[in-house]
Structure 1
Amino acid sequence: MFFPNFPIVDIAATREFWTSLGYSFNPDYSAEDVACLVFTDEVAVMLHEPSSFARFLPEGSAPADPRATTIGMFAFDLASREAVDELFERVVAAGGSAARPTEDLGFMYTRSFRDLDGIVWEPFFMDTSAYPGPDAG
């Protein structure tokens, strides 16, 4: 399994946000200060309040503020362009915001968003049969 870990501000608000998008949490890996967001059977995202996240940081380091610094963009695939649009609409209704303009490359369609904590997520749909390859211009 793959468990990326992110700092968040408020577990309750985070749970409400992701639940409204249709996602669930694994109670076996969740507590008062951390929530285990289930993406797939192989990927679960650990969302930590500050005190929980701080326990795992290397000595002398501090967590980044995703509202001020983007250290990564976390992409995940959906079944269709319509699924990408539907999720994006639910994100905005739940308090998230666009991270950058919609990108339509023909073979790939992406609508990036920031969650309540400023983390950038990139749901996309890719038609691999239409992918032109890395050498296409």
Structure 2
Amino acid sequence: MSLNIFVNFTTDDLDRSKAFYEALGYSINPMFTDDNAACVVLSDTIYFMVQTREFYATFTDKQIIDPHTQAGASVALSQDSREAVDAIVARGLEAGGSEPRPAQDYGFMYSRDLEDPDGNLLSFLFMEPAAVEKGPEAFMTEQGAGAQATA
């Protein structure tokens, strides 16, 4: 059995959301897209379901937060390099997103946050392969830098 991941976001403007995520380089699956929701394809197993607030409300009895003012979740997506992180964030900013804080550079990991036009928080990160293999502290020790952030 393969595992698929569906991350659900709310939007106030479905067409704007589709355009934003397409600008990041993702595609929209038309078979699972209608006036209520859009299926954003990140990979063969990972999807964002961007849903109107009204439609999203049909799946829960809980209060739906306003992602412009409250954090419900942060989705972190790895990239192949620091340059790839910068490139995808630049595309997101050009497409109407915002960067809520400066880039974070921890030596072993480089991360930038991007909010979509509805305030949903995405983090794009690159982690040095040796840090993934050995752990951040061992990698930083080898680099002679300790495990402190240089943000």
TM-score normalised by structure 2 residue count? 0.83
The yes-or-no answer on 1:55 pairing with 2:64 is: no
Following superposition, the deviation at residue 62 of structure 1 comes to 2.1
Residue pairs, 1:97-112, within 5 angstroms? 97-112=98-113
Q: Which amino acid aligns with 1:112?
A: D
Who is 2:20 aligned against?
17
Following superposition, the deviation at residue 133 of structure 1 comes to 3.8
Instruction: State the Cα RMSD in Å.
Output: 1.7
Residue pairs, 1:1-137, within 5 angstroms? 1-58=4-61, 61-130=62-131, 131-133=135-137, 136=147
Aligned length: 135
In the alignment, the residues of structure 2 paired with residue 97 and residue 62 of structure 1 have an alpha-carbon distance, to the nearest angstrom, of: 25
In the alignment, the residues of structure 2 paired with residue 81 and residue 5 of structure 1 have an alpha-carbon distance, to the nearest angstrom, of: 27
Following superposition, the deviation at residue 32 of structure 1 comes to 1.3
In the alignment, the residues of structure 2 paired with residue 42 and residue 65 of structure 1 have an alpha-carbon distance, to the nearest angstrom, of: 27
Following superposition, the deviation at residue 128 of structure 1 comes to 2.9
Q: Which amino acid aligns with 2:106?
A: L
Following superposition, the deviation at residue 27 of structure 1 comes to 1.5
Following superposition, the deviation at residue 132 of structure 1 comes to 2.5
Segments of structure 1 that go 5 or more residues without pairing to the other structure are none
Q: Which amino acid aligns with 1:66?
A: P
SS at match of 2:123: strand
In the alignment, the residues of structure 1 paired with residue 137 and residue 55 of structure 2 have an alpha-carbon distance, to the nearest angstrom, of: 42
Deviations 1:29-84 (A, max 9, x none): 211110011111111011101221111112xx221100010122110101110000
TM-score normalised by structure 1 residue count? 0.91
In the alignment, the residues of structure 2 paired with residue 62 and residue 132 of structure 1 have an alpha-carbon distance, to the nearest angstrom, of: 38
Higher helix share: 2
SS at match of 1:16: helix
SS at match of 1:97: coil
